[in-house]
Amino acid sequence: MTAQDTIQTTVTSNDVVLYMKGTKDMPQCGFSSRVAGVLNFMGVDFQDVNVLADEEIRQGIKEYSDWPTIPQLYVKGEFVGGCDIITEMTLSGELDQLFEDKGITYSKEAADKIREANA
C-alpha cells in the first residue's frame, strides 16, 4: 500500500483526522498543539496521525491535500485546513457549524468558552 492509499483509507474511515507533529496527548509543535488542543477541549473524538513517525506520510499528506504545512484537519474525508484556518473557524463559529452539518459530536459550551477567552 502506498502512502496515498494509507492516507485515503485513514481520512475516509475516521470522521475526524488530524495529521500533526506528535500526538494528541503529546504534540511536538505549537501549531499542532493549538489544533489538537481545540479539538480536545471541544470534546471531539479524532484520529491523530503523527507525521514525524513516517516520512512517507509526512510528504504524502502534503501532496494529498496540495497543502504545504502540518497540521492538517480532515472531517468526513474532506480537507478543512491548517492551524490558521482552524483557529479562524473556531473563533467565528464556522467550525461549530461544520461539525453540526457533518454530524460530529462536540461541546458547544467549550467552543463558546474558547470564543469568550479570545474576545
Let me know: does 109 contact 117? Beta carbons within 8 Å.
no
Which residue type occupies 39?
L
- Over residues 94-108, the pLDDT tens digits come to 999 999 999 999 999
pTM score > 0.85 for this model? yes
Average pLDDT over residues 19-47: 97
List all residues 6 or more positions away from 58 whose beta carbon is below 8 Å from its beta carbon.
51, 52, 70
Give the CATH architecture of domain 3-117: 3-Layer(aba) Sandwich (3.40)
Residue 119, pLDDT score: 86
pLDDT at residue 49 greater than cutoff 90: yes
Let me know: does 30 contact 48? Beta carbons within 8 Å.
no
Average pLDDT over residues 21-31: 97
